[in-house]
């Protein structure tokens, strides 16, 4: 059985037109599929509207109690449910979940860490401990398409903020025990681009080393590629980095 | 098969202590159960924090586009997911849904209505058309406890704001085709009170007429009781109006 785990970023889901295009492409994907979405920009906007300051450290949101409420509202409510409603209107039998629903994604609250000589407490941020692949499989066997918000669950702490790329990688790795999994990262660009701005159609381990040491791959792309190779190492069959219009295009990453 | 459909109001779920007590009582309920929650006070609070004005007509919220986002965040996100996380921590395998998830509760956008000589457009408010009892039954057969936010779904309009009492009544009536359903309305008071403030243990149709014509039942209780008798007329076995600590106490309403 083939299963696609598709991650779509905030810039796409927060632009109504881009989202509509993406959801049409996603609805056309055959077979089992899981959608993991972001929503950081909307969280930042709601925080600002509420007069709250957003603090990011190395691209990650510091999540105090007030910010936890914001991300629960935005990721678990607004973004998730608007996607679910759009998919249902497109005829896809979607259901939206956080990591707390059915204990789908359990995590542990991250302890304070030292970054650049300073101790940073990310607050209500969770590092994934386990994914309930059995429950996800059962839902898909019922014809349900799970839509996952980037919120994980620590039974002692409640909902925790978790990076959506990481969550998608963890879900893909967990499903790989049972299915042939393709992990798809959908974002604004057509794929991984070379120095002339052209899409690199395929990347394997040796080519990645070459691209990286040659400085061809941009800084922003490195965590995405590291994440991709990490997923491959954990049994995911292939990873694709592509734009929202073509879930079978872009750059294919394999072992 | 017995199924309990429990509705819990905003005043309970928005007070952490009251909510904890209620969720403990709910987690102890044996057999199949569905939770429907409100959250109006939190929606009003978030609106105020965002500088938005809340307009209520006959106790119902006028829901423009900005207010729809607020109720989607608050009902579908914050309140729903905090309840789900608490239930999971109590060992209940809860999953939170809106009417859009699995198209569980379909509705039609309410057209403008004349109230007291004025035309009122409630905006994104939905009147329930159908409840997907088959999907709810399948979820419960899997051991899942559905937690429903008061948001329904019109495929042409998206998510619509729906009164939680009405939603609970509709869900109970839909489940009555297959199960013996008890509908429980949980709120701050011990039950339906008589003129001396004592709980009336049982009310049937003739007694309701008597209480009502005698002015014993307060104005606020009349819609609840009308809703209860409406549910009985649609096949629900019994309705209970009780406080949060005792889901088997309060006032039992039957045909």
- Would you call A85 and B159 a contact, using CB atoms and an 8 Å cutoff? yes
> Tell me: the pLDDT tens digits for B202-226?
999 999 988 888 887 877 788 889 8
Give the 3-state secondary structure of residue A1.
Answer: coil
| Cα–Cα distance measured from residue B225 to residue B216, given in angstroms and rounded to the nearest whole number | 13
Which of the 8 DSSP states describes residue B122? -
- Would you call B77 and A75 a contact, using CB atoms and an 8 Å cutoff? yes
In terms of C-beta density within 10 A (0-12 exposed, 13-18 middle, 19 or more buried), how is residue A141 classed?
A: exposed
Picking from A102, A147, A36, the residue whose alpha carbon sits closest to that of residue B100 is: A147
Give the 3-state secondary structure of residue B99.
Answer: coil
- Would you call A159 and B82 a contact, using CB atoms and an 8 Å cutoff? yes
Q: Which residues of chain B have pLDDT under 70?
A: none
The whole-number pLDDT of residue B198 equals 92
Evaluate if residue A218 carries a pLDDT over 80. Answer: no
Closest chain B C-alpha to A1 CA, distance in angstroms:
22
* CB-closest option in B72, B80, B155 to A88: B155
Evaluate if residue A241 carries a pLDDT over 80. Answer: yes
Q: Quickly count: other Cβ atoms within 10 Å of residue B223's Cβ.
A: 14
The whole-number pLDDT of residue A1 equals 77
Evaluate if residue A217 carries a pLDDT over 90. Answer: no
> Tell me: the pLDDT tens digits for A71-91?
999 999 999 999 999 999 999
> Tell me: the pLDDT tens digits for A40-67?
999 999 999 999 999 999 888 999 999 9
Beta-bridge mates of residue B6: B35, B184
- Identify the contact set of chain B against chain A, taking CB-CB distances under 8 A: 46, 49-50, 69, 72-78, 80-82, 84-86, 88-89, 93-98, 100-103, 138, 142, 144, 151, 153, 155-156, 158-159
The whole-number pLDDT of residue B205 equals 92
Quickly list DSSP for A155-215: TTTEEEE--HHHHHHHHHHHHTTTSEEEEEEEESSSSSB-TTS-B--EE-HHHHHHHHHTT
Distances (CA, A) of A2 to A34, A106, A177, A240: 11, 24, 12, 15
Evaluate if residue A247 carries a pLDDT over 80. Answer: yes
Closest chain A C-alpha to B230 CA, distance in angstroms:
29
The whole-number pLDDT of residue A212 equals 85
Mean of the per-residue pLDDT values of chain A: 94
CA A63 to chain centre: 18
Radius of gyration of chain A (CA): 18
> Tell me: the pLDDT tens digits for A158-201?
999 999 999 999 999 999 988 899 999 998 889 999 888 899 99
* CB-closest option in A50, A95, A153 to B97: A95
Q: What is the mean pLDDT of residues A188-215?
A: 90
CATH number of A2-253: 3.40.1160.10
The whole-number pLDDT of residue A136 equals 98
The whole-number pLDDT of residue B245 equals 81
The whole-number pLDDT of residue B87 equals 98
- Identify the contact set of chain A against chain B, taking CB-CB distances under 8 A: 46, 49-50, 69, 72-78, 80-82, 84-86, 88-89, 93-98, 100-103, 138, 142, 144, 151, 153, 155-156, 158-159
Give the 3-state secondary structure of residue A147.
Answer: strand
CA angle A60, A63, A68 (to 5 degrees): 130
> Tell me: the pLDDT tens digits for A90-134?
999 999 999 999 999 999 999 999 998 999 999 999 999 999 999
| Cα–Cα distance measured from residue B241 to residue B201, given in angstroms and rounded to the nearest whole number | 10
Quickly list DSSP for A222-233: HHHHHHHHHHHH
* H or E element in which residue B168 lies: helix B164-175
β B180-187/B238-243 pair status: parallel
| Cα–Cα distance measured from residue B208 to residue B201, given in angstroms and rounded to the nearest whole number | 12
């Amino acid at each position: 059985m083939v299963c696609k785990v598709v991650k779509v970023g905030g810039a796409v889901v927060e632009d109504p037109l881009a989202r509509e295009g993406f959801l049409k492409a996603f609805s056309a994907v055959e077979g089992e599929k899981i959608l993991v979405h972001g929503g950081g920009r909307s969280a930042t906007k709601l925080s600002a509207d509420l007069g709250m300051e957003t603090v990011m450290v190395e691209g990650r949101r510091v999540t105090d109690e007030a910010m936890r409420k914001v991300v629960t509202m935005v990721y678990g409510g607004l973004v998730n449910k608007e996607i679910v409603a759009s998919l249902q209107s497109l005829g896809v039998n979607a259901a939206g979940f956080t990591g707390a629903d059915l204990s789908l994604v359990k995590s542990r609250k991250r302890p304070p860490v030292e970054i650049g000589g300073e101790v940073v407490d990310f607050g209500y941020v969770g590092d994934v401990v386990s994914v309930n692949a059995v429950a996800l499989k059962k839902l898909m066997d019922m014809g349900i398409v799970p839509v996952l918000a980037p919120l994980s669950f620590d039974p002692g702490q409640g909902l925790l903020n978790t990076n959506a790329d990481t969550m998608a990688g963890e879900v893909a790795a967990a499903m790989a025990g049972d299915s042939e999994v393709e992990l798809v990262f959908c974002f604004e660009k057509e794929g991984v681009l070379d120095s002339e701005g052209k899409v690199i159609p395929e990347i394997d381990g040796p080519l990645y080393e070459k691209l990286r040491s040659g400085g061809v791959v941009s800084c922003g792309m490195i965590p995405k590629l590291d994440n991709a190779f990490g997923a491959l190492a954990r049994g995911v069959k292939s990873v694709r980095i592509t734009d929202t219009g073509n879930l079978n295009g872009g750059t294919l990453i394999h072992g």
